[in-house]
Homo-oligomer: A and B are copies of this chain.
Amino acid sequence: MPKKERKRLQVVISDEQDALLTRTAYELSSPERLISKSEVVRLAIEKIARELGEGQQTGRLEDYRAILDTADTEDEH
């Protein structure tokens, strides 16, 4: 990627989320282009922000909040 301001993000994820990342990276990869787990994370960030930007009126916010309530996304205490 072009050189510009970069931040190092540290996130603790569950084993299942790590497995999801690996699977997604594999599914997005092709013989011409290998996709890394880091790329999947950056893609996922772009995607969720775009969808939220477009879709607040269509109840996406509720979708996301529902996932937040059920999936293992909460910070450790």
Q: Which residues on A are within 8 Å of B, measured CB to CB?
A: 1-2, 4-15, 17-18, 20-21, 23-24, 27-28, 30, 33, 35-49, 52, 56, 61, 64-65, 67-68, 71-76
Contacts and interface: CB of A to CB of B under 8 A. Distances in A.
Contacts of A18: 7, 9
B38 A48 contact: no
Contact of A35 (B14, B20, B35, B68): B68
A23 B73 CA distance: 18
B68 A27 contact: no
Given A17-B46, A24-B48, A46-B67, A41 B9 contact: yes
Contacts of A67: 43, 46-47
